[in-house]
Amino acid sequence: MTVKELAAQLKIGAPCGVYLLFGEEAFLKTHYLRLITEQFSGSPFDELNVFRFEGKEYSTDVVENAIEGPPVMAEHKLLVFSGSLVFKPDGRTGAKQEYRDYWEKRLRDIPEYCHVVFFEDDVDKRSALYKFVNKHFAACEFAYLSENEMTNWTVKLFKTMGKSLSAFDAQHLVGICDAGMHSV
């Protein structure tokens, strides 16, 4: 799924169940995580319906209870996994095999009310889990923008702040900054 397709899907409010957001462009990745989170939160009972898991060590029993328990006074539940590394099959650099096995089975039977977001820096596109999510759900890669895209985005950014910046100056600014939207 492309970033444009993800944006269109979120705009019309058509949830897909499981999202895999990955890549090097942290600014856009974080932006879309926020959009997804906003779509499934906002009720006074968010602490009972929104679960966040950091890193590659977590209890699958807790995850299972979060998935299987119905939402509390809301239509949806959201589970966000940051840096879980389950899409990296190498046990030294990725998650343990037990976590990958768990997700390979679990993602085949996610309840309609439950939505899962994996927020990863890097994935192995050859892994079976990645291929499954990409085929049946939404896997979206956030790569660095091209120099031309960054220049246009920088001009628009300055305009939203009430400032003007020529395309030439924006191109120069993009050229002297590190890669990524956070750098500008």
Give the pLDDT confidence score for residue 89 in this predicted structure.
Answer: 74
**pTM value surpassing 0.85:** no
**Coil, strand or helix at 127:** coil
Structure tokens at 30: 């974080």
Give the pLDDT confidence score for residue 182 in this predicted structure.
Answer: 55
Give the pLDDT confidence score for residue 53 in this predicted structure.
Answer: 92
Taking Cα atoms as reference points, which of 163, 155, 20, 29 lies closest to residue 79?
Answer: 20
For residue 90, how many other CB atoms are within 10 A of its CB?
10
For the cut 70, the answer to whether the pLDDT of residue 180 exceeds it is no
Give the pLDDT confidence score for residue 81 in this predicted structure.
Answer: 93
Is-contact 56 84, C-beta < 8 A? Answer: yes
pLDDT tens digits for range 49-82: 889 999 888 888 888 988 988 888 888 889 999 9
Q: How many residues does the structure list for the chain?
A: 184
DSSP string, 15-37: --SEEEEESS-HHHHHHHHHHHH
